[in-house]
Amino acid sequence: MKIQPAVQQMPGNSGRESTKRGESLARGSSVEAGCPRHDPNPTDGGLLQAALTRENLLLALKRVRSNKGVAGVDGLTIDETVEHLKTAWPLIRRQLLAGEYRPAPVRRVLIPKPGGGERKLGIPTVTDRVIQQALLQVLQPLLDPGFSEHSYGFRPGRNAHQAVLAAQQHIHSGCGIVVDVDLEQFFDCVQHDLLIARLSRTVTDRGVLRLIRAYLNCGTLIGQDIVVDRQGTPQGGPLSPLLANVVLDEVDKELERRGHRFVRYADDANVYVRSPKAGLRVMALLRRLYGRLGLRVNEGKSAVGSAFGRKFLGYGFWLSAQGKIRRWATTKALQTFKQRIRGLTKRNGGRSLEQVIEGLRPYLLGWKAYFCLSQTTAMWRRLDGWIRRRLRAIQLKQWRTGRTIYREVRKMGASPKLAAQTAAQSHRVWHNSAGLIHGVLTVAWFDRMGLPRLI
């Protein structure tokens, strides 16, 4: 089955002259065609028009472009979509305002989970991602201020680090038992009617509500068939995280009303109490609250236990000898990290050491930025040393023969004796990488090569 774009694509320079297209957008000659240049008051029924203003759409397009992402079911890339919208946008806009626009189905993509299984992503077309992003930009300021202060996921000015620090503070206050709740296939189980009902408490623009329901009902392309579910919000669209917070905020507010200490990040929630008995009562309460929303608690991953025995967002907590609560990256996170590093530092990759380091940089910097809260300095030093050892092994392997090793090590300032000893054991690459060569391929040398340190 071939899925057509919302409007028949006009011929053009698809995939070429992206710079010229960007300049054209900056002049306002495509997506915003026919859009007003002012922002209507969203409280007088003009929320949809506010989403479709020129400035809001250009910002949405900029953010979609920065997120990159693959094409949807229409097969159009971001640059090709921009070219397409130069002629198609006026009609799409009229359809949006008239309530006649029908989003294209999402494209199913399966992402392996670290612990096994697959996560289902639904990738909208670039056109629909731009529209959803434009909606998000007007809905978020309206909805976000009403969300619980204990919710940290996918909210402006909030992040996972704040959630981890809040969890640590709850434990420090004496709540050493955690009710760790994981929802089973949350994004697949959201009830559409319930979601729209919750939204309508704040959003009164019927055009916006109608468009959001159209996105919920657009269906998923699986093989040659379009499957339409009456529940669920596909992961992959810009609106999905906000809609998730709309649904789950009801549970947050009830926990607040009862005075519980808790932290929620997306569909991961931890409630901190002082005793196992209190934890069991809270778990029973959460099953009831989530049940009213048509959601199920994943019994295999949820539990009541010591806060020092559970993980949250990749972090765990431990009690130091001084009686202070400390943060650490969990064993599972470290195993995932080392597995990825092994894949990036294979000795038979056919790449120079410079290329290997260049490939490592983004992953190391991203991992360091996320796990910088970990308070295990010795572990970071060990990981830094292990990474450098793997890189030394690559360099030795690439020098191949003892004669080459002797020559190259001497060039780097090694004594004749050191160079000879290293060359004599040229076949023992891993052994040499931790031995005498350590004084030649030093930490400072790797710094000059551009290798980031974890500490």
Query: At 325, phi and psi to the nearest 5?
Result: -80, 125
Return the pLDDT at 428: 76
Using alpha carbons only, give the angle 152, 198, 105 rounded to the nearest 5 degrees.
85
Identity of the highest mean pLDDT range in 22-36, 133-147, 393-407:
133-147
Query: Could you tell me how far CA 49 lies from the centroid of its own chain?
Result: 30
Q: For residue 296, report the phi and psi dihedrals to the nearest 5 degrees.
A: -120, 140
The residue-averaged pLDDT of 266-293 equals 96
pLDDT over 80 at 299, yes or no: yes
CA distance 78 to 64: 8
Residue 243 confidence (pLDDT) above 50? yes
The reported pLDDT for the residue numbered 70 is 87
Q: What is the 3-state secondary structure (H, E, C) of the chain?
A: CCCCCCCCCCCCCCCCCHHHHHHHHHCCCCCCCCCCCCCCCHHHCCHHHHHCCHHHHHHHHHHHHHHCCCCCCCCCCHHHHHHHHHHHHHHHHHHHHHCCCCCCCEEEEEEECCCCCEEEEEECCHHHHHHHHHHHHHHHHHHHHHCCCCECCCCCCCCHHHHHHHHHHHHHCCCCEEEEEEECCHHHHCEHHHHHHHHHCCCCCHHHHHHHHHHHCCCEEECCEEECCCECCCECECCHHHHHHHHHHHHHHHHHHCCCEEEEECCEEEEEECCHHHHHHHHHHHHHHHHHCCCCECCCCCEEEECCCCCECCEEEEECCCCCEEEEECHHHHHHHHHHHHHHCCCCCCCCHHHHHHHHHHHHHHHHHHHHHCCCHHHHHHHHHHHHHHHHHHHHHHHCCHHHHHHHHHHCCCCHHHHHHHHHCCCCHHHHHCCHHHHCCCHHHHHHHCCCCCC
Cα–Cα dist 373/218, whole Å: 41
Structure token pair of residue 391: 């890189």
- The CB density around residue 378, as the number of other CB atoms within 10 Å, is 8
Q: Quick one: average pLDDT of 355-382?
A: 95
Alpha-carbon span 61 to 85, nearest angstrom: 11
Give the pLDDT band (50/70/90) at residue 336: very high
- Using 50, 70 and 90 to split pLDDT, how confident is the model at 149? very high
CA–CA dist 112, 368 (Å, integer): 23
Distance CA 363, CA 337 (A): 9
Q: What phi and psi values does residue 47 have, to the nearest 5 degrees?
A: -65, -40
Distance CA 212, CA 243 (A): 10
Q: What's residue 198's pLDDT?
A: 94
> Which residues have CB under 8 Å from 194's CB, separation 6+?
247, 293, 294
pLDDT at 418 over 90: no
Over range 160-166, report the average pLDDT. Answer: 97
Q: Looking at the predicted structure, is the pLDDT value of residue 223 above 60?
A: yes
**CA angle, corner 19, sides to 13 and 25, nearest 5?**
85
Residue 380 CB-density burial (10 A; 0-12 exposed, 13-18 middle, 19+ buried)? middle
| pLDDT at residue 5 tops 60 | no
For 165-208, the pLDDT digits (tens) are 999 999 999 999 999 999 988 888 899 999 999 999 999 999 99
Q: What distance in Å separates the CA atoms of residue 204 and residue 45, rounded to the nearest whole number?
A: 7
- Note the pLDDT of residue 68: 85
pLDDT the model gives residue 40: 42
Using the predicted structure, report yes or no on whether residue 110 has a pLDDT greater than 90: no
What is the reported pLDDT for 436?
A: 67
The pair of three-digit structure tokens given for residue 190, joined into one six-digit string: 């959201």
* Residue 11: predicted pLDDT: 33
For the ranges 121-130, 278-287, 408-417, which has the lowest average pLDDT? 408-417
pLDDT per residue over 251-261, tens digit each? 999 999 999 99
Q: What is the pLDDT of residue 169?
A: 96
Q: Flag the least confident range among 182-191, 213-222, 395-404.
A: 395-404
Q: Is the pTM of this model over 0.85?
A: no
Sequence-distant (6+) residues with CB within 8 A of 112 are: 118, 119
Contact by Cβ (8 Å): 232, 188 = yes
Q: What is the pLDDT of residue 231?
A: 81
State residue 74's pLDDT score.
92
